[in-house]
Chain A
Amino acid sequence: MTDLPKRTLDRLPLRWVLMDKIEAFASLVWPAKCHRTTGWLFLTPALLLVGILLIGLGYMLEYSLHELDLSSYRLKDAYTLGNYRYLLEQPVYLQVLLRTLLAASVVTLATLTLAFPYAYVMVRTSSSAWRKFLLVSLFLPFFIGQVVRAYGWLIILGKEGIINSALMSLGLPAMDLIYNYGAVVFGLVQYMLPFAVLLIVPAITAIGEDIELAAESLGANWLRAFWHVVLPMARPGLVGAGIVVFTLTMTDFAMPEILGGGTTDFIASAIYDSFFQLSNSGLGAALSIVLVTLGSILVAIVFRITGAGTLSIRQ
């Protein structure tokens, strides 16, 4: 088009001229022979952005190799593996880790148990109003955020909270519903529920209703049809949701802090405490590196077993 006589060009709408200029510019900086690498061009901003995390982790790795000097509260210059040795020698870190992993397993199981029926009903219901209601009830808490929801549970479960007030008005003794492991697990389950449902839903949608009906018409009762047909077919969604819930729980900070009453710390709190309460950034960095490594290994194992398809971008 740039070959048109100047007179014609003048009469073209401004937008066209502008577009032409942009195209010309684009072909100048990114000539057609580079088009094979356009994918990389598109990826670069994201790669750079995520690179910030890698740089930060590099700093962490460096910090973790220096011990704290208690007379100046600075990291010593000498390189050492002392922080890692300390982590191994102190049983408390293993215990906190085990507690975290146990909680993550329990939360994952409970969340999937609740999320699957929710997703199933939401997909299968014939009433669009009911479906919308379920969707909104799901999105609202998802959009409200963890801190505010934990705060709501404080009001409900506290010693003078709603449940205990109700119990006492019935003449029953008050219960310890908060500041314990159970409260943390419960808070986490309801926090994770929307994530899990949203990840399971596409998998259920993909299962044809006719397949299920066929199973039932062949005489399988609904539970067996569920067990042998629906659940296996929804496996990719369940695994994906399971991984997300497990890793999010494993690294959660707010729920144990707010609902745990100080004695049910998770590994994230231990990292926080090393950095801030003990002012020992070397130790905290070592703990971070260990957690990142463990998490990566776990995710890699799950990928191996289930095939990476579950979490990949290309579904």
Chain B
Amino acid sequence: MDKYLLPHKGEIVKITQETGSNLNIKTFRVRLIEEEARKKFKFLPGQFVELTVFGVGEAPFGFASSPTQEEYFDISIKETGLVTEAIHNMEEGDQIGVRGPFGNNFPYEEIKGKNLVFLAGGIGLAPLRSLINFVLDEKNRDQYGRVQMLLAFRSPEDMLYKYDFSNWENSPNTTVKYTIDEECEGWVHCVGYPHELLNEELDLKEPDTVFFTCGPPIMIRFITEELRNSGIDPANIITTLEMKMSCGLGKCGRCNIGRHYVCKDGPVFDLKQMEQMPAEF
């Protein structure tokens, strides 16, 4: 049997509707059914998984929960195509195929003792949440320095993980800022695109800081440009890329950027690496 090509069976144990009606994002909590598979399934922040809807197809998704939650994992999914639509139509108790985990991970070991800045746009917060919850976990919190977050959404309707916000805000030595694209009634936080707010809202000058960003490609581009202009070392700017990863093994040929296979060498890359890669993503 080829253990990498056929999925384990998972059960959807909880479905959370994250956003309002305008951007349909749900978070699915999945628990592997077989005990042995569950014990062996060890993922790290930044990795991804291939989910199968039986009879429909398979698609890649980043982990949105911290591996410190051992019994299950969360995947946040925006309805965009065939597979995501089929997943959105599923109910608690339904079964789903799980292949993985695949890919590299955020350098959670190397960043110990450093200050961290998280810059997220929309559902780009999902893979960062895995690392955020890992770093802010009581067991780990004292191993990391100051944590700053700037979380961008189109509108208050499009926010996800609202239920996490108070935990994050109340975590020691942690500040969380929120921004939306346009002013709206009742909104007391920032307004504007995140790259315009970086210098104003965050303390970028603190030494020994590592930046993590994920969001729409255009946001990643503007943010990384802004950070570079502020003199940040590109090796300290880390993002996670998305391609049409299918096999997860670095073989099927869909997700390469130059010689790098996003499913195996990525999805986590730092800006220094990305500057050496062909611009084809």
Q: Do A and B bind each other?
A: no
Q: Hey, which bits of chain B sit against chain A, CB under 8 A?
A: none
Which residues of A come within 8 Å of B, CB atoms?
none
